[in-house]
Amino acid sequence: MLFPIIMAGGHGTRLWPLSRQQHPKQFLALLDSQLSLLQTTLTRLIGLEVGLGIHTPLLICHEEHRFLAAEQLRQLAKRSPQGLDKAQIMLEPKGRNTAPALAVAALYTQQISALHEAADPIILALPADHAISDVPAFQAAIAAALPLAQAGKLVTFGITPTHAETGYGYLRRGTAIANTEGFVVDEFVEKPDQATAEVYLASGNYYWNSGMFMMRASRYLSELAHLQPKILAACQTALSKSERDLDFIRLDAAAFAASPSISVDYAVMEHSTNSAMVPLAAGWSDVGSWSALAQQLEPNNQANGNNVYENNACENKGNTLRGDVLIEDVSNSLIMAEHRLVAALGVTDLVIIETKDAVLVAHKDREQEVKKLVARLAADGRTEHIVHRECHRPWGKFDAIDKGERYQVKRITVDPGARLSLQLHHHRAEHWIVVSGTARVTQGDKVHLVYENQSVYIPVGQLHALENPGQLPLELIEVQSGAYLGEDDIVRFADSYGRAERVKGEG
């Protein structure tokens, strides 16, 4: 049984300001106007079930992303009815890198296989934030890796390099493994400098390290027992003490936090005598930088959907433009406008990313250092690296339109049939104005409907709830006023999403 493990725990800081801590890149539709990177990763599995006996995937993500993950699975079901929305979601209480994540996955798949009296499962670990353009080639590599994994090998996929890349780690190919398409991995190599990367490319013996793996669950766990016993012990306890929360599996927080934080490569692959590699040439990218994203997007001198041209638009100058962009004498630049017009004049080799609350301007030679800016934001106590101005919730979303001393204005969208928790606030009052749709409002022991162009006032300390009983999205403007307007000023008494005692500040 082939058991896909989708690892979606990263935060994608190098793609700030599009990627944020509470809405990282795997949940963004960066390459497809309809599907996120996570959703695209899942759709790549369609067709593998033929001849391989593929199991419903296990998705591992941070607990703060649980509703994002669940909603994207639900959306995917509308487009791909192959049951991908039924993937089990396992929640990491704290990010501990890929080795512990794969450990709890291996333990879990063994439990599931035992329930079905199936053989030792083979796990296929796939990062949720990668891009692959040639899906048939990807699936062919999976099929080629299967006999190696069945024979007890720890298989990784080496990407056939297309250029001398300094942003990836490398694998050095060893001898061929008889009667397979695989090779022994002679060495795992850190990210090289430019000169070394060119030597690697010319040799033909080096491959990019993809971070994708296939192996028997028992083989990985036995390697952990030998090489990383602290990881195995912590993960065994975390899973044994896990709890069901709605559709989620919550790992025990204390036990999982006790695990060392380390990648699969460092923990096991580099030290094992059973590591193997299958070459993969499938248009792969980890979409780990702005240049990597630009390479996946088609260069153009026309901003998509806005018909904004440069005077000399007939000459492609290596620009990649998205959104409302106006350029003059600009070359080899990535410019993305999410919210307003971005105009550029006489520049080259720049990355310009505009969002509702932040703008990044960086030289392409320095784009790998964006995470330094994110660290500065965190050190300064700011929040632009954590949340977007527009925040998604299990019931819908809100856009923080304006904020000042003692007031805040939000545009709130509540999905059909969704309901905010029954709650009260100690420090703020709220005034709701319905823009479109119908709201069912609870105030104390009274429940009433509020229609378009009507409003309701929620005083400080009043028990209240908001629900959309209609078939269309409910849009309203919320004006908050008070001495403290923090998202943690919420006391919940009932909640449809299991948050009454779990997490503060989610509406």
Say if 410 falls within a structural domain. yes
Q: How far is 406 from 423, CA to CA, in rounded Å?
A: 20
Say if 80 falls within a structural domain. yes
| In a shared domain, residues 260 and 323 | no
| In a shared domain, residues 258 and 336 | no
| In a shared domain, residues 131 and 94 | yes
Q: How far is 87 from 165, CA to CA, in rounded Å?
A: 34
Say if 396 falls within a structural domain. yes
Indicate which CATH number applies to the domain containing 197.
3.90.550.10
pLDDT of residue 314: 41
Beta carbons of 427 and 487 less than 8 angstroms apart: no
| In a shared domain, residues 66 and 149 | yes
Say if 310 falls within a structural domain. yes
pLDDT of residue 189: 94
Q: What is the pLDDT along the chain (507 residues), one digit of tens a residue?
A: 899 999 999 887 999 999 999 999 999 999 987 899 999 999 999 888 656 678 899 999 999 999 999 999 988 887 766 666 678 999 999 999 999 999 999 999 999 988 877 779 999 999 999 999 999 999 999 999 999 999 999 999 999 999 999 889 999 999 999 999 999 999 999 999 999 999 999 999 999 999 999 999 999 999 999 999 999 999 999 999 999 988 899 999 999 999 999 999 999 999 999 999 999 999 999 999 999 999 898 777 665 545 454 544 445 689 999 999 999 999 999 999 999 999 999 999 999 999 999 999 999 989 889 999 999 999 999 999 999 998 888 899 999 999 999 999 999 999 999 999 999 999 999 999 999 999 999 999 999 999 999 999 999 999 999 999 999 999 999 999 999 998 889 999 998 887 665 444 455
Output the CA torsion sign for 15, 20, 25, 29.
negative
Say if 9 falls within a structural domain. yes
Domain end marker among 288, 314, 333 = 288
| In a shared domain, residues 247 and 300 | no
pLDDT of residue 436: 98
| In a shared domain, residues 277 and 319 | no
| In a shared domain, residues 268 and 311 | no
| In a shared domain, residues 309 and 427 | no
Contacts of 52 (CB under 8 A, 6+ apart): 2, 142, 143, 146
| In a shared domain, residues 357 and 481 | no
pLDDT of residue 32: 82
Q: How far is 201 from 335, CA to CA, in rounded Å?
A: 30
Contacts of 137 (CB under 8 A, 6+ apart): 280, 281, 282, 283
Say if 507 falls within a structural domain. no
Q: Which domain holds residue 418?
A: 390-494
Three-state helix/strand/coil letters over 156-189 = EEEECCCCCCCCCCEEEEEEECCCCCCEEEEEEE
Say if 373 falls within a structural domain. no
Domain end marker among 259, 288, 317 = 288
Residue carrying structure tokens 């090489």: 227
Output the CA torsion sign for 183, 187, 192, 194.
negative
pLDDT of residue 307: 45
| In a shared domain, residues 414 and 460 | yes
Residue carrying structure tokens 């309809």: 34
| In a shared domain, residues 198 and 334 | no
| In a shared domain, residues 280 and 297 | no
Indicate which CATH number applies to the domain containing 433.
2.60.120.10
pLDDT of residue 265: 94
Number of domains in the chain: 3
Q: How far is 44 from 74, CA to CA, in rounded Å?
A: 17
Say if 499 falls within a structural domain. no
Domain end marker among 334, 368, 402 = 368
